[in-house]
Amino acid sequence: MTRRGVDTPERAEESRKRTLGSRRRLVPYYLLSPAGLFLTVFFLLPLVLMIYTSLQSGGLLAGGFTFTWEFGNYTEVLGQYQRQFLRSIQYSAIVTVVALLLAYPLTYWIAFYAGKWKTSILLLILAPFFVSFIIRTIQWKFILADSGPLFGPIKDVGLLPDGFRVLATPFAVIAGITYNFLPFTALPLYVALERIDKRLVEAAKDLYASRWQAFRRVVWPLSIPGVFAGFLLTFVPATGDYVNADLLGGPGTTMIGNIIQQKFLTELDYPEAAALSVILMVVMLVLASLYARILGTEDVERAAGAQA
């Protein structure tokens, strides 16, 4: 018998276990709190501030900006810069497709056949990152110049007319963006291909599948998460890029990133610049969601997880 209010050793042990269990359940939240705080301060708050700014009216020379729920900023910029929006999506779509076509065979060979040279080849892919983005783009401008080291000698021998030029054309802008963002496509593709169990490919061949059939039925479905990641890491930043269009393009190749940069830093029209940024972000989210649904990325990831 024990007196009321006096815990037995069994009750004390049970209470201690409950307290320990509660603390253990809180551990993941403690671990997530630094990242959650970082995202709140540097992502959510700037996003809210950008949306808030996009609904302002006024100007710096007209007494400042005031919050007036000015949804007209969205309709105005959509009507005024629709061509630049469509051009940016078109250029980034071409860049993404070209980067995938270039990176997939390369990363496939590295993952399956490079052997001990994998690390060295991956280092070569990453080598451009050791040079500034601006410097890399300026070098492209030097290479593609009308009388540069590439086209100058060809013009001198008469194989190209003197009026031939690549700079200030869509080709130059697309080529520059593709070069700068190719590693963003290659790395997630390599990770996805490297994780594929090579025994699955051998099993498919043992079941009389040709190399193409083994690739189409085994390798390609299991690499789709890498394709999707490469799409996101290439398409989204390429759409908002303005450096390549500014340095390699001309008046007819202006992208929406150039307009946003001009609105923010030159015209100081913060509401319209913020409205353009919000529209671009929404369009990117919609396109990424459609792309994920088309590829069926979630199903593939579940299948890969079940395999693991």
Amino acid at 179: Y
Beta bridge partners of 59: 64
- The pLDDT tens digits of the residues spanning 113-148 come to 888 888 889 888 888 888 888 998 998 888 888 888
Assigned CATH class of 76-307: mainly alpha
pLDDT of residue 10: 67
The percentage of the chain sitting over the pLDDT mark of 90, rounded to a whole number, equals 41
pLDDT tens sequence across 43-81? 899 999 999 999 998 887 777 888 899 999 999 999 899
pLDDT on residue 21:
64
Q: Is the dihedral of CA 172, 180, 125, 191 positive or negative?
A: negative
CB within 8 A of 65, min separation 6: which ones? 53, 56, 57, 58, 59, 270, 271
- CB of 160 closer than 8 Å to CB of 151: yes
pLDDT at 301 over 80: no
The pLDDT value given to residue 205: 83
The larger pLDDT score, comparing residue 263 to residue 150, is at 263
- The pTM (predicted TM-score) of the whole model is 0.82
Query: What pLDDT sits at residue 307?
Result: 38
Q: How far apart are CA 11 and CA 35, in angstroms?
A: 38
Share of the chain above pLDDT 70, in %: 88
Q: Is pLDDT above 80 for 305?
A: no
Q: Residue 289 has what pLDDT?
A: 82
Alpha helices in the chain, H assignment, sequence order: 9-39, 45-54, 72-80, 82-113, 118-126, 133-143, 152-156, 170-194, 198-206, 211-214, 220-240, 243-248, 256-265, 270-295, 297-307
pLDDT tens track for 272-289 = 999 999 999 998 888 888
Domain segments of the chain as ranges: 9-54, 76-307
pLDDT beyond 70 at 189 = yes
Burial of 255 (0-12, 13-18, 19+ CB in 10 A): buried
Residue 6, pLDDT above cutoff 80: no
Half-sphere exposure of 60 (CA within 13 A, CB side): 8
Tens digit of each residue's pLDDT (9 = 90 or more) over 76-107: 999 899 999 999 999 999 999 999 999 999 99
| Mean pLDDT within 247-257 | 91
Residue 58: DSSP 8-state: E
The CA-CA-CA angle for residues 260, 280, 292, to 5°, reads: 150
Residues 6+ apart with CB under 8 A from 35: none
Instruction: Identify which of 234, 231, 226 has the alpha carbon closest to the alpha carbon of residue 190.
Output: 226
Tally of CB atoms within 10 A around 132:
10
**What is the biggest distance separating any 2 CA atoms in the chain, rounded to whole angstroms?**
110
Contact 184, 210 (CB under 8 A): no
Q: Is the pLDDT of residue 170 over 90?
A: yes
What would you report as the CA-atom Rg of the chain, rounded to the nearest whole angstrom? 27
pLDDT of residue 36: 87
